Amino acid sequence: MRSPSPIRAAFRQALAEAWAGGAGALLPIGFFAGAAMLVPFTVGSEANQLAAIGTGVLWVALALASLVSMERLFQADLEDGTLELWAQEDCPLFLIATAKILAHWTVSGLPLVLLTPLIGITLQVPADQLLPAMLAYGLGGLAFFFWGGVAGALAASVPRGGLLIALLALPLFVPTAIFGALAAEPGAAGPNILFLAASTLFALAVAPFAASAALRLAVD
């Protein structure tokens, strides 16, 4: 095993880039909050109705918000030549891709999860459900970001590939969304949260290799 310094360097660079891009890192958070806030206006503010759909709405908003700034994650590296340098490292490209996705998740994904209880309250999600649901959103969000990373890598060489990313990533979100929604239901967590965790582990295991293969194609 070689020294992990290229991985650390890639992580740091991605963090710095996220914060440097004119608060681009905050876009998913704004999108998430904005989309969830529209729901009481569109379906009515009746508490029972909102409580019934609240957790589901949060899943949809989380899934979409996780794709918001995915377009630039690898595309910027391709355009400025950084990807060429990473592709020639001894350090495997899938580890670099993982570092970049994790950095993006730290800046944009983790805040979404931390925000879910707050938005959950406004959607009348019962208070005792908020924290267990947060665990589910944390696991699911991580899977969304890794699948989104694969889509971002595939679309890296496509100009304005944002829509393509959504088309590629959303089908991959389905298992996570199914188990996630079940796990967030009151009293039904048990085995469903384990299935959700399994689907996240699957994403963590597969997505880095898929993303790195896509990046090799993009850089060729």
67 φ, ψ (degrees, to nearest 5): -95, -10
Check residue 12 for interaction with other proteins (CB under 8 A): yes
Check residue 6 for interaction with other proteins (CB under 8 A): yes
Shorter beta-carbon distance to other proteins: residue 18 or 168: 18
81 Cβ contact list (under 8 Å, min separation 6) = none
Check residue 46 for interaction with other proteins (CB under 8 A): no
Query: Collapsing DSSP states into helix, strand and coil, what is residue 92?
Result: coil
Candidate segments 5-13, 57-65, 117-125, 203-211, binder of other proteins by CB under 8 A: 5-13
By CB under 8 A, what part of segment 57-76 binds other proteins?
76
CA distance 147 to 24: 20
Distances in whole angstroms, Cα of residue 115 to Cα of each of 80, 112, 137, 141, 169: 33, 5, 10, 12, 23
Structure-block tokens of residue 115: 């925000």
Check residue 27 for interaction with other proteins (CB under 8 A): no
Candidate segments 45-53, 78-86, 142-150, 177-185, binder of other proteins by CB under 8 A: 78-86
Instruction: Give the footprint of other proteins on this chain (CB under 8 A).
Output: 3, 5-6, 8-10, 12-13, 16-17, 20-21, 76, 79-82, 84-85, 87-90, 219-220
